[in-house]
Amino acid sequence: MASDLTKLIKLLKEDSKTLSELEQLLQTERQCLEENALDRLDTINHQKHPLLVHMEANGRARREWLHESKLPLPRFLDLLAAKAPPVMDLYRQCESKLQQVHKLNEVNGRILATSQLRVTKLLSIIRGQHKHNHIYGKNGSEKAVGYSHVLAQA
């Protein structure tokens, strides 16, 4: 089993390094998003792309390797934990880094979505196309308030 694991170990070490680089880039991306440093975001996106391509290629290689071993994943992981604990530790480390990268990416996505919504609202206000405010009438129903809507009667 040890000789067969060398390819998997190599892939996991590459993934660990790549995930660490992605984590750093995502943290930098978050700072740029928070500071509205759009010029630096383009550079970060160009740096992320090859890392993501590399991760995808390694993922395919790992799936092929597992398919060639003819073991279901749960059984393989059990064997790995029993026969090669250092390799299992490396696998868990990659899993942990992947989860961290996923969380960072979600945070950046939320920041980006909020920023995009803010820009869209500002543009609609500038264009005079903003949605009207809503108020509640005396019977509790919600009504859109436009420029010509009477708010009170004498």
Residue boundaries of the structural domains of the chain: 8-128
Which helix (H) or strand (E) segment holds residue 144: the answer is: strand 142-145
- Neighbouring CB atoms inside 10 A of 35's CB total 9
Burial string for 3-23 (b: 16+ CB within 10 Å, else e) reads eebeebeebbebbbebbebbb
pLDDT tens-digit readout, 10-63? 999 999 999 999 999 999 999 999 998 888 999 999 999 999 999 999 999 999
pLDDT tens-digit readout, 131-140? 666 666 777 7
Cα 140 to the center of its chain, rounded Å: 41
Class of domain 8-128: mainly alpha
Q: Extract the runs of DSSP E, i.e. beta strands, from 13-140.
A: 133-136
Q: What is the value of pTM for the model shown?
A: 0.76
